[in-house]
Chains A and B, each alone.
Chain A
């Protein structure tokens, strides 16, 4: 079926070329980073994880979101999603490839990567994250490919495909839960040391992931003249709305716990995000994240205001706008703030700030382009097969 990706119009090839250029830029910058070390990043002794790990955190959510289609379709036999399930599975593949690449580019000694496999360490959450990420990726490759193959041949998918699809459901939940556990089990990082971390991750995943997918499907609908189905769109939009309500609610729970208890450690990181903090040694007031976080809070609430009333949600231009600001808000929360604010203040109550360097941004651009290429090729195949079958 892969050959179907080799047949496209001029715009398709322009897009592919653009992605390849971005990948080239990323690869060049990675070569530099490999040679000179992570000194080319803006990470530091105090903020030892940065943009790369934050992107991993965000993208596991995008990957997990496929389950919002798989679960109703395979488990509850909700056939209206039949046309879309494979898109969710294929997007998950692209997202997990990006996750794994973000882990690799974050390593100081990437050539020793296999040490994680050679010396399996069940007490480390990172070990389990590797297991569930790879497991979920392979399940999606197998299930997505097999069901598409069946559709091409005009036969129903085999029983084992359904079984594997259902197995992938707990895997989808686990990739996000286990990634949340990377943070939630660490002493003295009060911002992460919260029992609701995994639930927050899942809530943000199940709104942001389907939102990205729906936006991409609208593009596909336009460029490939592919019918998504009005009912499926409405259902997805409803799922996104509920997940976002939970996401904002859960964040509110964090605010209550921190500020009603008034325990300084629990308040510090949140204060840093919304108001900035003073470094006790220099007396300097620092808060580069502040404008981003207010923007995120505003966009999150506005997206809810537009998504909750069905009148605005069912209006396509409004829906598209709401989805875009929802994605931006959740990305600022998980893809920027969550990881960095965990390190601020540092272990000595000092403040070392962080913003990604150009190397980090270019490498990340390259990885996003790889993800986009994978999703483009897989979706192109899916659209071609589905159109031929219909």
Chain B
């Protein structure tokens, strides 16, 4: 039962969820998203696979907040992330200062450059995710490739995952988000009020053989790859550079690494 759902989402991605939500039916149908999940397995897509997906962000290559703007725009546009003013907003990818990003890591005499830099914040797709542990309906679950997913149709909106996530990576739709989407991407579902959402490492793009939207927009400054493969590019980069992860002391083992 659980595996079926997981497989279904791995391949069909959230496209199918969008259909059920009634969003962009024309495009979703044209992609064949209505087909049973087994059909998708044999479509011959060169979908990307990994033992454990991970991300390395070379923050040295970004100079200030403005450098992250195209990445954020690519992500939020692709996934219909609304722009809601105030404290009830929705974020998938955003930025913070050094202290906000690494709160347990207050370097007293930090290099000026690192201190004033902006750092991108997103779901860490932890190897040991607390949000999955606390979810009472399995609406949040971890795929075999390490991606922490959200089933927006299963979510009851209890927001336990928001309390459980040590990275503030989850957003709740306090209201209907649709009026706050400037330009709707019909190929991806919009959400309804009362459910939690977050970054999904672009599973829908991986299923089509594409890199995540922010990785593509970063033009090489973010590397995305298989942490489970010792010969992968990402592992070589991690071996050659000193990196930080957010709040490593909590034992969640984030899959997002920052080169400072």
B199 CB contacts on chain A under 8 angstroms: none
Contact string against A for B residues 83-119, beta-carbon threshold 8 Å, 1 for contact and 0 otherwise:
0001111110000110111011000000000000000
Size class of the contact patch on chain A = 35 or more
Contact A38 B166 (CB under 8 A): no
Whether, in the assembled complex, B193 has its beta carbon less than 8 Å from a beta carbon of chain A, the answer is yes
B155 CB contacts on chain A under 8 angstroms: 108-109, 112
In the complex, which residues 64-116 of chain A have their Cβ closer than 8 Å to any Cβ of chain B?
Answer: 103, 106-110, 112-113, 115-116
Most buried by A among B154, B159, B165, B250: B159
B135 CB contacts on chain A under 8 angstroms: 121, 124
B173 CB contacts on chain A under 8 angstroms: 37, 108
Taking a contact as CB atoms closer than 8 A, the residue among A39, A121, A183, A265 that contacts B138 in the complex is: A121
Contact string against B for A residues 145-164, beta-carbon threshold 8 Å, 1 for contact and 0 otherwise:
00000000000000000000
Majority secondary structure, B binding face: loop
Contact B194 A124 (CB under 8 A): no
A43 CB contacts on chain B under 8 angstroms: 88, 174
**Which residue in chain A gives the minimum CB-CB distance to B154?**
A115
B96 CB contacts on chain A under 8 angstroms: 348
Whether, in the assembled complex, B168 has its beta carbon less than 8 Å from a beta carbon of chain A, the answer is yes
Whether, in the assembled complex, A311 has its beta carbon less than 8 Å from a beta carbon of chain B, the answer is no
User: Which stretch from A2-10, A184-192, A229-237, A364-372 is at the chain B interface?
Assistant: A184-192
Whether, in the assembled complex, B157 has its beta carbon less than 8 Å from a beta carbon of chain A, the answer is yes
**How far in angstroms is the closest Cβ of chain A from B118?**
12
Whether, in the assembled complex, A261 has its beta carbon less than 8 Å from a beta carbon of chain B, the answer is no
**Which residue in chain A gives the minimum CB-CB distance to B96?**
A348
Whether, in the assembled complex, B243 has its beta carbon less than 8 Å from a beta carbon of chain A, the answer is no
Whether, in the assembled complex, B252 has its beta carbon less than 8 Å from a beta carbon of chain A, the answer is yes
**Which residue in chain A gives the minimum CB-CB distance to B247?**
A188
In the complex, A43→B175 CA distance in Å? Answer: 12
B138 CB contacts on chain A under 8 angstroms: 119, 121
Contact string against B for A residues 168-192, beta-carbon threshold 8 Å, 1 for contact and 0 otherwise:
0000000000000011011111000
Q: A109-B195, A187-B250 are in contact. Are A115 and B174 (CB under 8 A)?
A: no
Contact B137 A119 (CB under 8 A): yes
Q: What would 15 A/B residue contacts be, using CB atoms closer than 8 Å?
A: A38-B157, A38-B194, A45-B162, A108-B156, A108-B196, A109-B157, A109-B195, A115-B136, A118-B137, A121-B136, A123-B133, A126-B160, A265-B104, A346-B168, A347-B167
**5 additional A-B residue pairs with CB within 8 Å, beyond A124-B160, A187-B166:** A44-B174, A108-B172, A109-B155, A118-B137, A350-B100
* Residues of A that sit less than 8 Å from B by CB: 36-39, 41, 43-46, 48-49, 103, 106-110, 112-113, 115-116, 118-119, 121, 123-127, 130, 182-183, 185-189, 265, 280-281, 342-343, 346-350, 352
